[in-house]
Amino acid sequence: MISEVIKMTQKYETTSDFIAAETVDQLYPYQVDRINREIRDLIALNASESSYHFEECPKCHSRIQSFMSGGYTYANVDATKIRKNKLLKCPACHHRFTVDH
């Protein structure tokens, strides 16, 4: 995993966002293993958060199988309305809320 990150750094001009090879050489093996675990956990977290499924309403806390579409929030940009975030609507209490990750 670290070797893949090092290969990625060679594609870019600056390595400020990536781990440099010199830095990895200064670490103990257990530290490299810990970084590998962290990277795998972050990748798994990103994969699990790419989809969403709400099981209960944030206001009334009733368990709902599926929420209704509640429209969109809009942003005014140059005097025109642009869709911003999708809203979901609870069928029990009619509360509308945004889909945030």
Report CA torsion sign: 64, 65, 70, 74.
positive
| Residue range 49-81, pLDDT digits in tens | 666 667 788 889 888 888 888 888 888 877 788
Instruction: State how far the Cα of 78 lies from the Cα of 35, in Å rounded to an integer.
Output: 45
Res 30: pLDDT:
92
The model carries a pTM of: 0.43
What is the average pLDDT score of the chain? 77
Q: Which two tokens stand for residue 64?
A: 């709902």
Other beta carbons within 10 angstroms of residue 15's beta carbon come to 16
